[in-house]
Amino acid sequence: MAKLSDSGNLHQHISKQYDHELLDIRSRVLALGGLVEEQIESAVRALVEGDVELAYRVIEDDGKVNSMEVSIDEECTQILALRQPSARDLRLVVVVIKTIIDLERIGDEAKRIARHAIDLTQHPASDKQLIELEQLAAHVRVLLHDALDAFSRMDVDSALKVVQDDKQVDQEYESIMRQQISHIMEDPQSTPVSLDIMWISRSLERIGDRSCNICEYVIYYAKGKNIRHISIEQVEKDLSFE
């Protein structure tokens, strides 16, 4: 009887430790997300304020994002190798691995914005151009924040809303791109500034896309459905029948 009791206690201990590991990787994803949000906020502030020192700090701090991504990935690998997770837990680990890849790449986009912010101190953008970028950045930051919130709660409805709201970001991005092309055609000397604006806009648009990716992973975890390459209308229709 003692041996059976000891075996039961051991199983319970291992189970609790496993649950803690799953909770830990989710918490660490949100910590990484928080760091990436700070990177975006700092990069945009460096851009708007012409703060070269802050821009260089964003570039330097990208190493912290990379290190966190690698560390979480290693923990996920350990869970896969040692725990042999069940189907639902396996989906969680897969979602975490995919999410941290997107967060690391969002960090890369923040670094790119910071680099272009440094370039623009040499040939400043107009107030109108900066205001438009700041507005686009504000919408993108909301998307990322809401995507991370959806991840924290594995909330399908919140995830779908982020995917829907990304349409506004796409429209703003396309508007900025058209304006900069017009500037270049009308005044070739504006090309360096316009190109920096276009690259920054592209980075912001990509952050929006990667925020949507995170929401797709949330839906995959909660519903077991891979919705990549499916229209949002079709996704909503499919989920409504469940």
Range in 13-22, 73-82, 206-215 with the lowest mean pLDDT: 13-22
Two tokens at 188?
């070739």
Q: What is the pLDDT of residue 59?
A: 98
Q: Is 135 within the bounds of a domain?
A: yes
Please report, for residues 12, 48, 91, the alpha-carbon distance to residue 95 in angstroms, rounded to integers and kept in the order given.
26, 35, 6
Pick the more confident residue, 123 or 41: 41
Residue 200's domain spans which residues? 9-237
Q: Is 34 within the bounds of a domain?
A: yes
Q: Is 2 within the bounds of a domain?
A: no
CATH for 231: 1.20.58.220
Q: What is the pLDDT of residue 227?
A: 64
What is the C-alpha to C-alpha distance for residues 190 and 181, in angstroms, rounded to an integer? Answer: 10
Q: Is 30 within the bounds of a domain?
A: yes
- By CB atoms closer than 10 A (0-12, 13-18, 19+), residue 147 is buried
Residues 105-120, mean pLDDT to the nearest whole number: 97
**Is 108:195 a contact under the CB 8 Å cutoff?**
no
What is the C-alpha to C-alpha distance for residues 78 and 93, in angstroms, rounded to an integer? Answer: 11
The number of beta carbons lying within 10 Å of the beta carbon of residue 97 is 18
Which amino acid type is present at position 125? Answer: A
Tens of pLDDT, residue by residue over 169-212, are: 999 999 999 999 999 999 999 999 999 999 999 999 999 999 99
pLDDT confidence tier of residue 10, bands split at 50, 70 and 90: very low
Please report, for residues 24, 118, 181, 203, the alpha-carbon distance to residue 61 in angstroms, rounded to integers and kept in the order given.
23, 16, 33, 18
Structural domains counted in the chain = 1
The number of beta carbons lying within 10 Å of the beta carbon of residue 154 is 16
Longest CA–CA span in the chain (Å) reads 88
Tens of pLDDT, residue by residue over 65-77, are: 999 999 999 999 9
Q: Is 55 within the bounds of a domain?
A: yes
Q: Is 1 within the bounds of a domain?
A: no
Q: Is 3 within the bounds of a domain?
A: no
**Is 55:123 a contact under the CB 8 Å cutoff?**
no
Q: What is the pLDDT of residue 2?
A: 43
Q: Is 130 within the bounds of a domain?
A: yes
